Amino acid sequence: MRAEAVTNPEVLGRSVEGIADWHYQFDHMNPLCTDLRYRGQASRFQPPWGEVMCVVTTNSGVWGLGMGSLAGVTAPLINDYLAPMLSGEPIEDRERLWEMMTVACGSHFGASGVASYAISAVDLALWDAAGKLADKPVYELLGTTDPQPVRCYATGSDLEWFGELGFEAFKLACPWGPDTTAAIDQLVDLVGNGRELVGPSADLMLDCWAVQSVEHAISIGEAVRAFDIEWIEDMIYPEDWDGYSQVRSALPDHRLAAGERWYTDLPFLRAIEYGWVDVLQPDPLWVGGVTPCRRIANAAATAGYDLALHCGANDSYGQHLSAALSGNLWAEMYIGCSRGSPLMNSYRATPGMNLPLKGMLQPSDAPGFGIELSLSDIERATA
């Protein structure tokens, strides 16, 4: 087995320039905006690295492709540390290999954050190769032979356009920084207008982008109570573990969601143990790949918690997992392009993937994850 990390975002089918512009539009992407000294400085805190692609090659020549982020650090982490560690191991042992990578990273420098992005790319490549070797789609390797269409919701602010695209469920992104009364008033207007636009029966969620203080998060929950929000997501700093309990206690009637910025299965197990949220949202490209998603899904199903993969409709990886994992309620389509653009220009779309039709998604049935890139495509795009 050979894992090779290469960097180039173009083959992901996404416009890097467009994504960057989109992120810089809103101060809420600034994780330090609660401090007045850093307001309006979102670009100062944006990671400067592009996307990573990881190719795993087996002895028989069959190969798999994993994708991820933060290439400036994840590419050397894969090539210098994870690839030599895994070389010669059988890819059938993916559970053990994931634990090997996670325990090794965790023992030396931490398995969360950047390490988790690197492990994700390797694990996804291993599953892609395993599917191609078995000539089966990954959802079938996960035990689902006849995947049913998955309900999708669209995330963003242009709900009118999302409705025209056939979506019937929506998630608004809270576009203001925390800790001002004005932001609460504006948020009430935003959510109220959104509810009016989509009608009383459509599912409408609210994403707070994980920058709120506990106090502000609780204020938000109280302020939007009248609008029948399906769930409120990422209300506080991702690792404010005590904060989750405080928000949960203060807002017992709201459905709460979190998990896109949690890494490995451990925070999800703690969330289940302490009842922090109702909906768990691991991201396959960030949490560590297919393997921890399956572990989280199994634990959630056993404990009666819901699963809604972060960006589950946005790429081939999330699509297979959204269709295969038990308890997954929704696939999220994060619309990262402007009105009128083809959805294949959206956030991290992969060539060969299906797009939602009338708000429902059916993953490709091609072997592996069905990503339509040849080795020469990858080589050319990443040279």
Nearer to Mg ion, 56 or 251 (CB): 251
Contacting range for Mg ion; rule: CB under 5 A; set: 64-72, 200-208, 239-247, 341-349: 200-208
Nearer to Mg ion, 207 or 265 (CB): 207
List, in sequence order, every beta strand (DSSP E) within the chain: 2-7, 52-57, 63-68, 150-156, 169-173, 203-207, 232-233, 256-258, 279-280, 306-309, 328-334, 360-361
Residue closest to 266 by CA, chosen among 103, 81, 94: 103
Q: What is the DSSP letter of 149?
A: P
Contacting range for Mg ion; rule: CB under 5 A; set: 6-14, 199-207, 241-249, 293-301: 199-207
Query: By CB under 5 A, is residue 315 in contact with Mg ion?
Result: no
Nearer to Mg ion, 128 or 315 (CB): 315
Query: By CB under 5 A, is residue 230 in contact with Mg ion?
Result: no
Contacting range for Mg ion; rule: CB under 5 A; set: 35-43, 177-185, 191-199, 202-210: 202-210
DSSP-based three-state secondary structure for 9 = coil
Nearer to Mg ion, 282 or 370 (CB): 282
Q: How far is the CB of 233 from Mg ion (least distance, A)?
A: 5
Query: By CB under 5 A, is residue 203 in contact with Mg ion?
Result: no
Max CA pair span of the chain: 62
> Could you tell me the CA-to-CA distances from 167 to 5, 254, 329 in Å, in that order?
36, 23, 15
* C-alpha dihedral sign at 260, 261, 264, 266: negative
Nearer to Mg ion, 51 or 207 (CB): 207
Residue of minimal CB distance from Mg ion? 207
Q: How far is the CB of 314 from Mg ion (least distance, A)?
A: 12
Contact in structure between 309 and 332 (CB atoms under 8 Å): yes
Phi–psi pair at 298, nearest 5 degrees: -65, -45
Nearer to Mg ion, 123 or 207 (CB): 207
Q: How far is the CB of 234 from Mg ion (least distance, A)?
A: 5
Query: By CB under 5 A, is residue 306 in contact with Mg ion?
Result: no
Q: How far is the CB of 375 from Mg ion (least distance, A)?
A: 34
User: Residue holding tokens 């699963």?
Assistant: 307
Contact in structure between 250 and 218 (CB atoms under 8 Å): yes
Candidate list 128, 140, 207, 265; residue touching Mg ion; CB under 5 A: 207
One-letter identity of residue 369: F
Query: By CB under 5 A, is residue 168 in contact with Mg ion?
Result: no
Q: How far is the CB of 33 from Mg ion (least distance, A)?
A: 17
> Could you tell me the CA-to-CA distances from 127 to 114, 289, 300 in Å, in that order?
20, 9, 22
Contact in structure between 139 and 76 (CB atoms under 8 Å): no
Q: Count the site residues for Mg ion by CB under 5 A.
A: 1
> Could you tell me the CA-to-CA distances from 48 to 71, 168, 249, 334, 378 in Å, in that order?
9, 35, 38, 21, 22
Contacting range for Mg ion; rule: CB under 5 A; set: 20-28, 82-90, 186-194, 204-212: 204-212
User: For the chain, how far is it from start to end, CA to CA, in angstroms?
Assistant: 21
Contacting range for Mg ion; rule: CB under 5 A; set: 124-132, 201-209, 248-256, 337-345: 201-209
Contacting range for Mg ion; rule: CB under 5 A; set: 24-32, 206-214, 222-230, 346-354: 206-214
Q: Which of residues 84-103 bind Mg ion (CB under 5 A)?
A: none
Q: Which positions lie near Mg ion, rule CB under 5 A?
A: 207
